Amino acid sequence: MSTAASLALSNAALTTLTEEEELFRASVREFAEGEVRPRVEAMEHAAKLDPELIKQCFDLGLMAIESPEEYGGTGSTIFNAIVAIEELARVDASISVCVDVHNTLVTNAFIKWGSDELKKKYMPDLASSRVGAYALSEAGSGSDAFALKTKAVDKGDHWELSGQKLWITNGNEAEIFIVFANIDPEAGYKGITAFIVEKAFPGFTVGKKEDKLGIRASSTTELIFDNCKVPKENVLGEVGKGYKVSIETLNEGRIGIAAQMLGIAQGAYEAALKYTAEREQFGQAINSFQAVQFQLAEMAVDIEAARLLTYNAARLKDAGKSFLKEAAIAKLYTSRVAEKVSSKAIELYGGYGYVKDYPVEKYWRDSKIGSIYEGTSNMQLQTIAKLITSGK
């Protein structure tokens, strides 16, 4: 796709949201303010998502935004998915990433790679009641994702998986896992295969939950496979083509992370805007000082740029256009903006910003993961560099 065509799409699509999209945003914001915000402090303290909140996400269709209607989904767009992720992250990044992974990684992978049988078997549950997780990372395979050591052995009537996964989002809540294992280590990445594993499968255990800096209510766990028995038909995509499943799914997932970071930045900015209007020093609100006004203006500019980059990537995906570079740019930039804006919000709060009685320190802690998961910032730079130097 040419640069001119990309700009034309951006200019036509990004200036306004449709009435339907605006209504959808309003409904998600109402849910985030009414149901999520009152639970944030308790979930943060317990380092656990409220199960009732997850149930409400299912009931509202937020866990099946792109899922086809025939499987109980809303059959909507990734643009609406990222609007939902953004609005939830504006209030709490933990519930946002739960919805994000379930939609942009798990459901998306089933839509694109699942056989008719797998779709019929799992997608109605993914749309209505069962949380999904995406298990790629291991202790020795982070950015080098294809160095994974988890093995799958063909036992004739089933597969047996052995190994360990780390850093798996939704590990405690999920009941359906997309797990990547190698059926032929000698073949390298060409042996990698994606499997559908249910929590109840023999030989599968959810291990340690990580004690994290941010997104604390979101469970990040290890997964242990001890000769885990997986039905032969539970291969997602083709045997030996799991690398393709992972790469193409993560491309969409990066737009979701960009939306999450955008929401974090927006939430921190709004908190700072409100506080600076209320906080008085030298006999007047601190937002009357030009120095503070300029800092707020810089935050607003950064957020607007981040929003346009994120929306552009989503619009391109929905239009069936190439979006790999745009998704990488959006994720890279929004992760920087989220950290920068939330840090500045802490400074504007002064000493109050540094304590947990006020909201902005949490936004900053939640922002840090954006430059790490679903492809580090260095990996995004590598992707962007390869694409621009090859003329794409």
Q: Please provide the distance, in angstroms rounded to a whole number, between the alpha carbons at the two ends of the chain.
A: 8
> Residue with structure tokens 């998502």?
49
Q: State the Cα–Cα distance between residues 317 and 311, nearest whole angstrom.
A: 10
Output the pLDDT for position 13: 52
R_g over Cα of the chain: 21
Helix intervals (H) in the chain: 3-14, 19-31, 37-46, 51-59, 78-89, 93-100, 108-113, 116-128, 242-278, 290-318, 324-349, 360-367, 377-389
pLDDT tens for residues 307-330?
999 999 999 999 999 999 999 999
Tokens of 7: 């700009």
Our answer to whether residue 374 is catalytic in this structure is yes
Task: Report the interhelical angle of 78-89 vs 19-31 (nearest 10°).
Answer: 30
Residue type, 323: F
- Residue among 372, 313, 315, 312 nearest 338 (CA): 372
Mean pLDDT of the chain: 95
pLDDT at position 10 over 60: no
Q: Does domain 3-131 have CATH number 1.10.540.10?
A: yes
Average of pLDDT values for 224-231? 98
pLDDT tens for residues 33-46?
999 999 999 999 99
> Residue with structure tokens 């552009």?
312
Percent of the chain whose pLDDT exceeds 90: 94
3-class secondary structure for 253-285? HHHHHHHHHHHHHHHHHHHHHHHHHHCEECCEE
Q: State the Cα–Cα distance between residues 295 and 107, nearest whole angstrom.
A: 40
pLDDT at position 145 over 90: no
pLDDT tens for residues 248-286?
999 999 999 999 999 999 999 999 999 999 999 999 999
Output the pLDDT for position 92: 98
CATH classification for the domain delimited by 244-389, as one of 1.20.140.10, 3.40.50.720, 1.10.260.40, 3.30.1280.10: 1.20.140.10
pLDDT tens for residues 95-125?
999 999 999 999 999 999 999 999 999 999 9
For the chain, which residues make up each domain, given as ranges? Answer: 3-131, 133-241, 244-389
Q: What is the pTM of this model?
A: 0.95
Tokens of 43: 């979930």
Q: State the Cα–Cα distance between residues 72 and 233, nearest whole angstrom.
A: 22
pLDDT tens for residues 326-377?
999 999 999 999 999 999 999 999 999 999 999 999 999 999 999 999 999 9
Output the pLDDT for position 142: 82
The separation between CA 261 and the C-alpha centre of its own chain, rounded to angstroms, equals: 9
* Neighbouring residues of 85: CB distance < 8 A, sequence distance ≥ 6: 96, 99, 100, 103, 104, 256, 259, 260, 263
Q: Which CATH class is domain 133-241?
A: mainly beta
Catalytic residue selected from 86, 160, 222, 374: 374
Helix intervals (H) in 279-323: 290-318
Phi, psi of 111, rounded to the nearest 5 degrees: -60, -45
Question: For residue 1, what pLDDT band results from cuts at 50, 70 and 90?
Answer: very low
